Amino acid sequence: MMSIGLYGPLIGRLYHRFGARLVSFLGSVICIAGLIATSEASNLYVMYVTYGALFGFGSSCVFMVTYMAVPRYFTKWRSLSLGLIAMGPGGGLFIMSPIVQLLFERFGWRGTFLSMAGIDITMCVLAFVYRPIVLDYDKEELNTKKQKEDKKFWDISILKHRVFVLSSLAGTIYYLAHYIPPVHMVSLKHVIGTQCVRAEGVRCTVVKVAQE
C-alpha cells in the first residue's frame, strides 16, 4: 500500500497516456523482474530495492490499473465490479498464504520467490484482456481546446481541493498501522504458545485460538 501511495500519481498519468493494457503488462514484467532479482539478493538492503521498490512499483501498476479500468466497462454492475476487485487482496492472501508456505518449506525462500515470479507470468497474459474503450465523456474531453493545449505530464492542481487532501492524509495515517497486525501475528502466536506451555495447568481460549 505504501508503494501505491508513492507511485500512484505517476501510474495514473501513465494509465491515461498509454492505456490499461500496456501499463498492466509492463507492471507484470517489472513484478517478475523484481521477484527474480529478490531471489538472488545477498542481504536485506538489496531486498528493499528489488522487492520493496521494484516489485512494489510493478504490483502498484497492476493493482491501480484494475481499479481505474474495470469500472469503465460497467454501468449497472459497477458497484459489484468494484466490490469483487476489493475482495481480491484479502481473498488472494487467504489462498496464497498456505501455497507460499508450502513453497518455502519445499524450495526455500529463494525458490519461493522464483516460483512467485513464475506465477506472475499469468498477469502478463491477463493484461491483454483489457479491451480499449472510449466513453462519450472521454470523446468530449479530447475535442475540447483545453485538452489539446494541455501538454503537461504532471498536474498538481488537484492539491487545491481540500477534501481530496484531507482524504489522502486520512488514508496515509490509516495505512501506517494497517499491516502491523499481520506482520506481528505469527511472532505473537509463538510467544503466546511458549507462555502457555510454561504455565502449568493454565488454559486460555484465546491462546487455543491463536495456536490453531
Confidence of residue 121 (pLDDT cuts 50, 70, 90): very high
Give the span between the Cα atoms of 123 and 205, in whole angstroms: 42
CA–CA separation, 144 and 127 (whole Å):
30
pLDDT for 72: 83
Q: What is the mean pLDDT of residues 115-139?
A: 79
pLDDT digits (tens, 9 = 90+) for 34-88: 999 999 988 889 998 999 889 989 988 898 888 888 888 888 888 888 888 888 7
Please report the pLDDT score of residue 212 as a whole number.
42
Question: Is 90 exceeded by the pLDDT of residue 30?
Answer: yes
pLDDT above 90 covers what percent of the chain?
Answer: 20
Contacts of 2 (CB under 8 A, 6+ apart): 56, 175
Model-level pTM?
0.71
The whole-number pLDDT of residue 116 equals 92
The per-residue pLDDT for 196 is 43
Q: Which pLDDT belongs to residue 155?
A: 64
Mean of per-residue pLDDT scores for the chain: 77
Q: What is the pLDDT of residue 39?
A: 92
Query: Are 15 and 69 a contacting pair, CB within 8 Å?
Result: yes
Whether 27 has a pLDDT exceeding 90, the answer reads yes
| pLDDT tens-place string over residues 157-171 | 777 888 878 887 887
Query: Residue 28: left (phi > 0), alpha (psi -120 to 50), or beta?
Result: alpha
How confident is the model at residue 205, as a pLDDT? 30
Note the maximum CA span of the chain. 79
